[in-house]
Structures are given as C-alpha cells and as structure tokens.
Amino acid sequence: MRVRTMLLAAALGMAGVSGAVAQGAPDLPTRRPEEAQADPLQAFDVNKNGKLELAEVKSAAAARFDELNPDQDDSLDEREAAPVLPGESFRAADTDKNGKVSKAEFLAYVEQMFNMANPDGDGALERAELDGKNGQALMKMLR
Ligand SMILES: [Ca+2]
Ligand SMILES: [Ca+2]
Ligand SMILES: [Ca+2]
Ligand SMILES: [Ca+2]
C-alpha cells in the first residue's frame, strides 16, 4: 500500500513535470519577439549601448514608414498613417499641407518627438526617458 502510494505520487509528479515542459515548449518561439515588443530599448538599440540614439530611432521609423506604405509611393495618406499619426498629429506632420506625409516629413516629425522625449539633450534616450510620457508616445509610433 505504502509503495503503491509512493509510486502513484512519483507518477503524478512526473506527469506534472512533463506537463509543465510540454506547456513551456510551444511558448518559446513566441516569447522572444514579445519581449522585444515589450522592451523597445532591446528591439531598437542596434549598437547595444543601453540607450537609443537618434539614428537608431530614425532607422526604426523609416522601417515602420515602409511597412505602413505598401503602395511604395513615398507618402502616407491619412488612412495609411492612421496607426502612427491619428487625427491632429497627421496634420502636424504634414508640414507642406498636401494631405500626405512623405518619408522626410515623417522622419522630421519623429525627430521632433525624439527631442521632446530627450530633455537632457545628450543625443540619446535613456531608459527613464523612454519610460516617460513623450518617450512612450514616440515608441508607439515605431511599432
Ligand atoms: Ca544605442
Ligand atoms: Ca502611400
Ligand atoms: Ca506633405
Ligand atoms: Ca537623454
């Protein structure tokens, strides 16, 4: 009886362990991109110095622009830009007021947002700046 109970416990224990492993395994491929999404610093910090320089932010913004512009006509109309430039921000970014946001306009707007998020003016966004309101608004535009 005693042995049987122990065997049963061992069997249950093993089932528990293998169950956890089986559950963990399918998560692994998706976990890393999710972490990168949750942490823009890791996702965009190309030179791995723990902060985001303007060049890193701009190259991420340029990639995002291309992603939003499948027709490749070098500008975003209001509908294409909606995920990153809703309403007023679209008109603010469209500096020549032609109803479209070109890549140059988009990058100029991103640079303004970068400067707002970087009050110490040291050319890079540190963790605390990224976590601030302006830093988070900027990061939302990049993914
Ligand atoms: Ca960096
Ligand atoms: Ca377009
Ligand atoms: Ca324009
Ligand atoms: Ca800074």
pLDDT in tens, 128-143: 999 999 999 999 999 8
Ligand of minimum distance to the alpha carbon of 54: 1
Say how many Å lie between the CA of residue 68 and the centre of ligand 2: 8
Among all chains, which residue has been given the structure tokens 């320089």?
53
Domain regions of the chain by residue span: 1-38, 40-142
Q: Does domain 40-142 have CATH number 1.10.238?
A: yes
| Separation of CA 123 and ligand 1 centre (Å) | 10
From the CA of 126, how far away is ligand 4's center (Å)? Answer: 5
Q: Give me the mean pLDDT over the 37-42 stretch.
A: 82
pLDDT tier for residue 109 given thresholds of 50, 70 and 90: very high
Please choose, from the candidates 137, 56, 54, 55, the residue with its C-alpha nearest in 3D space to the C-alpha of residue 89: 137
The tens digit of pLDDT for each residue in 40-91 reads: 899 999 999 999 999 999 999 999 999 999 998 999 999 999 999 999 999 9
Which one of the ligands is nearest to 55 CA?
1
Instruction: Find out whether 119 and 73 touch, Cβ atoms under 8 Å.
Output: no
For residue 17, what pLDDT band results from cuts at 50, 70 and 90?
very low
Q: pTM for this structure?
A: 0.74
In the prediction, which pLDDT does 19 show? 45
- C-alpha–C-alpha distance, residues 102 and 105, integer Å: 5
